[in-house]
């Protein structure tokens, strides 16, 4: 038992020295995450074509139905739920069933008919800040169109409806509040997958992999020795992005660092498992690099980083269930912006644990098969 531990520790030390002694490796592991984080924080934007929303209509009058009909007929807004209680609003947003909730007060129609201003409140999910801001802008256009028609039909000079908005978890709807926490998982995934994917291929090309075969290391120990350095590098990179978010962009952290790093650790197990499985298949560094890029691009696109998963076609939403990056971004957002505890992250953690178990088991089998 202790001999296996010391062998894994020695192999881990060798891998870290190989990474840190190469100036190009040090540069690629430390500088790009910070630069990409800064670039994404300033220039990333989104397009919005589908807005799932809920309705909390306490008036249930003809006037409120006329207003809501404009949303339903816009081609952009899609009503997914009608809410009966104020407590349901928080639940619908927390569960990501809706991007926003339109709340109409009980005296909505009465105030309009008495030529007084009526309030319509929009409660938006600020975790996806740019999407929420764009949606609120669309709502403003619809409300202004309703106001113009109501003034013409009823001869009212004042503004009939006043729109008030409130964004949860991101009051100012700053895009970087959504983007930077998501990069904690995204940049870590890219580097971890590349690092583990190239590790065995590099050994094969340099001729040192054959030397491992004649050592007392067992396949599982070799795999552990390759996995631990990659996870340590991933933790360091995640910390760098976290420091940029805290110190440079000054995005307030609402959760627990212990919870965040616990979630990231499970995510890194899944990412390392995919990288090791890839490295066990690739024979050269060129193949490993190509396989890595083939995984990174679709995984990034299907993670919810730039496009909400709920806006994707249904068949693609099922595909995202095997994407560990999707769960990592959810964990980062929920811990960083919402401040949730570990118990509430179970829906994100168990799929990551399952992906890690499958990929690590498959990688272990491939190592045993190739070393046999």
Q: Could you tell me the residue range of the domain that residue 137 belongs to?
A: 51-168
Run of H or E including 53: strand 51-57
Last residue of a domain, one of 168, 203, 219: 168
The average pLDDT across 333-342 equals 87
User: Same structural domain for residues 160 and 233?
Assistant: no
How far is 131 from 45, CA to CA, in rounded Å? 9
Q: Which strand ranges, in their side-by-side order, compose the sheet holding 100-104? A: 77-82, 51-57, 100-104, 118-125, 161-168
Considering the chain, what percentage of its residues have pLDDT values greater than 90?
9
How far is 101 from 120, CA to CA, in rounded Å? 10
By three-state DSSP, how is residue 58 classified?
A: coil
How far is 251 from 174, CA to CA, in rounded Å? 10
User: Same structural domain for residues 253 and 226?
Assistant: yes
- pLDDT of 46 over the 80 cut: no
Lowest-confidence region among 45-49, 66-70, 242-246, 320-324: 45-49
Task: Count how many Cα atoms sit within 13 Å of the Cα of residue 292 in the half-sphere of its side chain.
Answer: 25
User: Same structural domain for residues 351 and 229?
Assistant: yes
Q: What does the pLDDT look like over 219-257, one tens digit per residue?
A: 677 777 778 888 888 898 899 889 988 888 888 898 889
Please state the length of the chain: 372
User: Same structural domain for residues 278 and 341?
Assistant: yes
Q: Are 265 and 355 in contact (CB under 8 A)?
A: no
Last residue of a domain, one of 168, 188, 212: 168
The average pLDDT across 176-184 equals 85
pTM of the shown model: 0.70
Query: Token pair 């644990």 is at which residue?
Result: 353
User: Same structural domain for residues 214 and 328?
Assistant: yes
Give the pLDDT band of residue 266 (cuts 50, 70, 90).
very high
Structural domain count of the chain: 2
Looking at residue 30, its pLDDT comes to 67
User: Same structural domain for residues 312 and 334?
Assistant: yes
Query: Who has greater pLDDT, 322 or 33?
Result: 322
Looking at residue 207, its pLDDT comes to 65
Percent helix, percent strand, percent coil in the chain, to nearest 5? 70, 10, 20
Which CA distances in Å does 229 have to 27, 32, 112, 191? Answer: 16, 19, 66, 12
Last residue of a domain, one of 150, 168, 186: 168
User: Same structural domain for residues 79 and 163?
Assistant: yes
Query: Token pair 């060798």 is at which residue?
Result: 14
Q: Are 246 and 253 in contact (CB under 8 A)?
A: yes
- pLDDT of 43 over the 50 cut: no
CATH code for position 161: 3.40.1710.10
Looking at residue 328, its pLDDT comes to 92
Query: Who has greater pLDDT, 64 or 153?
Result: 64
Query: Who has greater pLDDT, 121 or 45?
Result: 121
Task: Count how many Cα atoms sit within 13 Å of the Cα of residue 59 in the half-sphere of its side chain.
Answer: 22
Q: How many C-beta neighbours within 10 Å does residue 228 have?
A: 18
User: Same structural domain for residues 160 and 28?
Assistant: no
The average pLDDT across 184-188 equals 88
């Amino acid at each position: 038992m202790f001999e296996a531990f010391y062998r894994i520790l020695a192999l881990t030390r060798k891998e870290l020295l190989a990474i840190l002694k190469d100036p190009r490796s040090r540069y690629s592991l430390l500088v790009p995450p910070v630069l990409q984080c800064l670039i994404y924080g300033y220039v990333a934007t989104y397009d919005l074509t589908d807005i799932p929303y809920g309705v909390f209509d306490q008036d249930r009058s003809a006037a409120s139905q006329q207003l809501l009909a404009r949303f339903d007929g816009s081609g952009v807004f899609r009503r997914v739920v009608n809410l009966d209680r104020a407590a349901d609003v928080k639940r619908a947003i927390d569960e990501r069933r809706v991007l926003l909730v339109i709340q109409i007060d009980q005296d909505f129609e009465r105030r309009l008919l008495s030529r007084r201003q009526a309030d319509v409140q929009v409660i938006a999910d600020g975790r996806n800040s740019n999407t929420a801001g764009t949606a609120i802008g669309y709502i403003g256009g619809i409300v202004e169109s309703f106001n113009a028609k109501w003034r013409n039909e009823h001869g009212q000079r004042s503004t009939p409806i006043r729109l008030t908005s409130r964004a949860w978890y991101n009051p100012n709807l700053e895009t970087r509040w959504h983007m930077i926490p998501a990069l904690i998982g995204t940049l870590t995934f890219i580097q971890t997958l590349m690092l583990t994917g190239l590790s065995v291929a590099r050994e094969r090309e340099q001729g040192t992999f054959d030397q491992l075969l004649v050592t007392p290391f067992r396949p599982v120990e070799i795999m552990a020795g390759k996995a631990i350095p990659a996870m340590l590098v991933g933790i360091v990179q995640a910390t760098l992005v976290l420091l940029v978010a805290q110190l440079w962009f000054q995005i307030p952290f609402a959760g627990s660092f212990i919870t965040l790093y616990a979630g990231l650790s499970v995510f890194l197990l899944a990412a390392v498992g995919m990288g090791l499985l890839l490295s066990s298949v690739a024979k050269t560094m060129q193949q490993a690099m190509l396989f890595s890029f083939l995984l990174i691009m679709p995984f990034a696109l299907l993670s919810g980083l730039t496009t909400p998963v709920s806006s994707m076609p249904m068949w693609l939403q099922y595909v995202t269930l095997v994407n560990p990056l999707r769960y990592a971004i959810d964990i980062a957002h929920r811990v960083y912006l919402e401040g949730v505890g570990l118990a509430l992250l179970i829906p994100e953690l168990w799929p990551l644990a399952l992906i890690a178990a499958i990929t690590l088991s498959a990688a272990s089998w491939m190592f045993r098969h190739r070393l046999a």
